[in-house]
Amino acid sequence: MARAHARLTNRPGDRDRNASDAVLLALPPLPEGCDVLVVDDALGEVEDELQRRGHTVHLWRRMARRGVEAVAWPEVPPCSAAVVRLPKGKDAFAFSLDAVASVLTPGAPVFVYGANDEGIRPAGKRMKPLLTDVETLDTRRHCRVIQGTRSESPEGLKGSIAAHRRVEVVDVDGESFDYVVYPGVFAKGELDPGSAALLRTISELPDDARVLDFASGAGILSMVLAKRHPKATFQLIDADAVAVVAARENVPGALVLTGDSWGRLPSYRRYDAIVSNPPIHTGKGRDYSVLTRLVEGAQARLLPKGALWLVVQRQVPVQAMLDESFDDVSIAWQDTRFRVWRCGRLADRFEL
């Protein structure tokens, strides 16, 4: 009862359902038996309906969600149509369109759909470099469906994930790091204030520490900590398959996995430190599911005297959940925007 009381409430809204309904009502008939690429269909409703209509569906999900696998680039045969859920951010959308165009046959229709408050209105302009005949197909349920056509030779098509790779120089407390990023990764290749605060605050790591970076993004926390503790070993996990590609380059030798839950990690592994700057939004809606899974599962994965180092915005009401999951909870650092929490077990529990 107490744990359920302390669990944070998610407010993701109904955008995914409304957007799925909008695109399915707007889709014109496609050629019989069409090979359709379906991108980031969070609820599976678009996939199910297109299969019911007799089409062959090929899925590409960049983000792992609820145990569903994700990949960084679509691994599908040539397709003759695509239905694309608008991703979060202009860079992620451009990346998604490039990946989609790379596996479509010339003349294939592309249907992009999303909610008005997610930025779907200007999406048509951003589709034009790769697609022709771009127009709004339908508007309903506070959503919009935009259609375009894959041209014979799309202008500016990159056609591979490697072509989107870039290296940024990141300064951390006066030290420079070459940081590999791809479009749409967290913080756009910069050191965000929350991660900077966490790196300034983390202490007590043994030289040979075993560290887990949960919701790691492109691996900036582990990249810096690995430089500070060269004998430490690192494991990273993130839901974004593209970020995982970057993290493998940024933290060479680390085990980096795609996923959003503890089940993706080896069950026998225990850690001296778990570090995290977890996401608390899914698109426009607030979503505490990653944070909740992290807190509720972390203690069982810590070694004696190990600690969870967590940074969240001050307004996130996380303390009650932390107090239920850990014996020793403290604010290691805070300012007007963020708090860094240190959560562990009391040492004397293991020394009786």
Q: How far apart are CA 304 and CA 348, in angstroms?
A: 10
Kindly report which listed range (7-11, 90-94, 318-322) carries the lowest average pLDDT score.
7-11
As a whole number, mean pLDDT of residues 147-168 equals 96
Residue range 228-246, pLDDT digits in tens: 999 999 999 999 999 999 9
Predicted pLDDT at 2? 40
Is residue 109 predicted with pLDDT exceeding 70? yes
Provide the mean pLDDT of the chain: 92
Written as six digits, the tokens of 248 are 């493998």
155 inside domain: no
According to DSSP, residue 239 is labeled: S
- What pTM was estimated for this model as a whole? 0.93
111 closest CA partner among 99, 98, 125, 97:
97
Same domain, 179 and 141: no
Written as six digits, the tokens of 27 are 């889709």
Last-in-domain residue among 117, 150, 183: 150
DSSP β-ladder status, 233-238 and 255-258: parallel
Is residue 63 predicted with pLDDT exceeding 80? yes
Same domain, 123 and 199: no
Predicted pLDDT at 189? 84
E strand or H helix at 237: strand 233-238
Is residue 90 predicted with pLDDT exceeding 60? yes
As a whole number, mean pLDDT of residues 132-136 equals 98
Predicted pLDDT at 6? 63
295 closest CA partner among 272, 313, 315, 312:
312
309: CATH: 3.40.50.150
Same domain, 236 and 120: no
Pick the more confident residue, 113 or 345.
113
Give 33-63 as a DSSP string.
T-EEEEE--SSSHHHHHHHHTTPEEEEE-SB
Is residue 350 predicted with pLDDT exceeding 60? no
Same domain, 240 and 278: yes
Same domain, 109 and 173: no
346 inside domain: yes
Give 247-276 as a DSSP string.
HHHHSTTSEEEE-SSGGGS-TT--EEEEEE
323 inside domain: yes
Write phi, then psi, for 68 (nearest 5 degrees).
-80, 130
Q: How far apart are CA 257 and CA 277, in angstroms?
A: 17
257 inside domain: yes
Last-in-domain residue among 150, 183, 200: 150
260 inside domain: yes
As a whole number, mean pLDDT of residues 173-187 equals 95
Other C-beta atoms lying within 10 Å of the C-beta of residue 244: 25
- Distances in Å between the Cα of 155 and the Cα atoms of 110, 151, 159 are 16, 9, 11
Last-in-domain residue among 150, 176, 201: 150
Same domain, 285 and 170: yes
Same domain, 230 and 184: yes
Same domain, 175 and 249: yes
Predicted pLDDT at 12? 52
- Distances in Å between the Cα of 157 and the Cα atoms of 113, 149, 165, 299 are 21, 14, 14, 46
Same domain, 173 and 200: yes
Other C-beta atoms lying within 10 Å of the C-beta of residue 25: 12
As a whole number, mean pLDDT of residues 58-62 equals 97
Same domain, 329 and 271: yes
Same domain, 251 and 300: yes
User: What is the sign, positive or negative, of the torsion defined by CA atoms of 75, 188, 64, 29?
Assistant: negative
160 inside domain: no
63 inside domain: yes
Predicted pLDDT at 13? 60
Give 174-190 as a DSSP string.
TEEEEEEE-TT-GGGGS
Task: Name the residue range of residue 232's domain.
Answer: 165-350
Distance of CA 165 to the CA centre of its chain: 17
Number of domains observed in the structure of the chain: 2
As a whole number, mean pLDDT of residues 151-177 equals 95
Percent of the chain with pLDDT over 90: 86
Residue range 297-316, pLDDT digits in tens: 999 999 999 999 999 999 99
Model confidence at 1, pLDDT cuts 50, 70, 90, reads very low
Do the Cβ atoms of 192 and 201 come closer than 8 Å?
A: no
46 inside domain: yes
Do the Cβ atoms of 250 and 219 come closer than 8 Å?
A: yes
Do the Cβ atoms of 251 and 234 come closer than 8 Å?
A: yes
Pick the more confident residue, 42 or 163.
163
3-state secondary structure of 285: strand
As a whole number, mean pLDDT of residues 124-143 equals 96
Q: Which residues is 166 bridged to in the sheet?
A: 181
Same domain, 318 and 185: yes
